[in-house]
Homo-oligomer: A and B are copies of this chain.
């Protein structure tokens, strides 16, 4: 079955976005890159930091309210509809809910050709890269490194601890049909 959606899951500062830009560069067809950051950027500023929305605590923990969950469910439906309408899409995700997060996507993408990709990175290395980036809430990398992979199953796993983004992208692209 033709791959229509690539879902890339990993913690903050694991290197997902860089890998996805390389995947877009390496694959011959045009793929759209959408993800959690797109959705958060689309929220009303007030919801980005409120009880009903998504909040980034000073220690890097992320909490997500009911208002956000409702919009997220509709967002996921919409991304699935784009794929059904013919766009090939790479989804940049952070499965804060582990298995439950994957279930949500799985259900929405049913009938579509999906490639599930896990991006791992040693927690200490990711935490150092978070410092090097300088634009993330310190602590997110460490708190998400293991959490987001709990109970999630993948078709391909890459690890950026010792592998460059482009090489990870090539491993992923090789599995796209």
Contact = CB atoms under 8 A, between A and B. Distances in A.
A138 B41 CA distance: 17
A90 B71 CA distance: 13
11 contacts: A18-B132, A19-B132, A21-B134, A22-B131, A25-B46, A32-B71, A73-B85, A74-B87, A77-B81, A78-B81, A129-B165
A47 interface: yes
> In the complex, which range does the number of interface residues on chain A fall in?
35 or more
A24 interface: yes
A175 interface: no
A22 B128 contact: yes
Contacts of A74: 82-83, 85-87
Copies of this chain assembled into the complex: 4
A134 B165 CA distance: 12
A156 B20 CA distance: 34
A67 interface: yes
Q: Which 7 A-B pairs have the closest CB atoms?
A: A78-B82, A81-B81, A18-B132, A74-B87, A128-B166, A24-B44, A74-B85
Given A21-B133, A22-B132, A132-B19, A82 B87 contact: no
Contacts of A18: 129, 132-134
